[in-house]
A and B are shown apart, each in its own frame.
Chain A
Amino acid sequence: MAFGAIRRSVSTRVLSYRQQSCGRAFSSKAIQDFDVVIVGGGPVGLALASGLGSYRLVRESLKVALVEAGDLSKTRDWALPPDSYSNRVSSITNSSRAFLEDIGVWEHVDQSRTCPVQEMQVWDGLSDARITFDAADLPASNAAESSEMARLTENLNLQRALLRHLGSIGGTELLQKTRVESIQREDRDGGHGWPLVYLSDGTILRARLLVGADGFNSPVRAYTGIPSYGWSYDVRAIVATLYHPPRGAFQGPNRTAYQRFLPTGPIAFLPLSPTVSSLVWSTRPALAEALCHAEPAALAHMINAAFRLPEVSVRYLHKLILDAHSTGASISGEDICSETAFREKSHGIPGYSAYASVSSMLSAGVPPNDAMAVPPIVTSIQPGTIASFPLKFNHAESYLGEGVGSRTVLVGDAAHTIHPLAGQGLNLGLGDVRSLVQCIVQSVVRGGDIGSFTSLRPYAAERYFANHKVMSAVDKLHKLYSSTWEPVVWARSVGLEVINELDSVKAALMMDAGAGDLERSRWDLLANGMKGVSDGLTTAKMLGQGIGGVFTIGINEITRRLGQH
Chain B
Amino acid sequence: MFSTAVRRVSRLTQRTRFIQTDATVNAAEIAHFSRLSSQWWDENGEFALLHRMNPVRVQYIREKLIEIAREEKGEDVAHEMEQRRDAFRGLSILDVGCGGGLLSESLARLGAQTLGIDASESNIRIASTHADADPLLSSSFPTSSSLHYRNTSAEQLLKEPERFGVVCSMEVIEHVDNPAAFLATCAELVKPGGHLFLSTIARTPLAFLLTIAAAEYMMRKVAIGTHTYHKFVNPSELISFFQSYSSPSTTSKQPWITRTYGGGQPTRKEAEVRGLIYKPWSGDWELMSRSASQWGAAECNYLFWVRKPFTS
Contact = CB atoms under 8 A, between A and B. Distances in A.
B40 to A, nearest CB: 11
B133 A190 contact: yes
B201 interface: no
Interface residues of A, number: 29
A446 B62 contact: yes
A453 interface: yes
B130 A190 contact: yes
Interface in A368-397: none
A57 B62 contact: no
A188 interface: yes
A56 interface: yes
A447 B109 contact: yes
A445 B43 contact: no
A454 B55 contact: yes
Contacts of A444: 85
Interface string B94-138: 000000000001111110000000000000000001100111000
A61 B85 contact: yes
Q: Which interface residue of A56, A206, A402, A445 has the most chain B CB atoms within 10 A?
A: A445
Contact of B129 (A57, A189, A402, A452): A189
Contacts, number: 68
Q: Which interface residue of B44, B52, B85 has the most chain A CB atoms within 10 A?
A: B85
A454 B133 CA distance: 17
Contacts of A192: 41, 129-130, 133-134
A454 B52 contact: yes
Contacts of B59: 445-446
A475 interface: no
Interface string A134-172: 000000000000000000000000000000000000000
B84 interface: yes
B58 interface: yes
A461 interface: yes
A339 interface: no
Contacts of B134: 192, 208, 449
B58 A447 contact: yes
A350 interface: no
B54 interface: yes
Interface of B: 41, 43-44, 51-52, 54-56, 58-59, 62, 83-86, 105-110, 129-130, 133-135, 282-284
B55 A443 contact: yes
B284 to A, nearest CB: 8
Given A443-B55, A454-B52, A449 B105 contact: yes
A457 interface: yes
A33 interface: yes
A463 to B, nearest CB: 14
Nearest to A61: B85
> Interface majority SS on A: helix, strand, loop or mixed?
helix
Contacts of B62: 445-447
A457 B58 CA distance: 17
A548 interface: no
B160 to A, nearest CB: 26
A444 B108 CA distance: 12
23 contacts: A33-B135, A56-B83, A57-B84, A57-B85, A60-B84, A61-B85, A189-B129, A190-B130, A190-B133, A208-B134, A442-B55, A444-B85, A445-B59, A446-B56, A446-B58, A446-B106, A448-B58, A448-B106, A449-B105, A449-B134, A452-B43, A453-B43, A457-B283
Given A57-B84, A454-B52, A455-B55, 14 more contacts: A56-B83, A57-B85, A192-B133, A192-B134, A402-B44, A442-B55, A443-B55, A445-B85, A446-B56, A446-B62, A448-B55, A448-B58, A448-B109, A453-B44
A208 B105 CA distance: 15
A190 B110 CA distance: 24
A455 B284 CA distance: 11
Given A57-B83, A461-B282, A461-B283, A454 B43 contact: yes
A453 B48 CA distance: 10
A444 B106 CA distance: 9
Nearest to A57: B85
B266 to A, nearest CB: 25
B106 A447 contact: yes
Given A189-B129, A190-B129, A453-B44, A446 B55 contact: yes
Contacts of B135: 33, 206
A402 B133 CA distance: 17
B92 to A, nearest CB: 16
B278 to A, nearest CB: 14
A208 to B, nearest CB: 8
B87 to A, nearest CB: 8
Nearest to A189: B129
Contacts of B84: 57, 60
B39 to A, nearest CB: 12
A453 B41 CA distance: 10
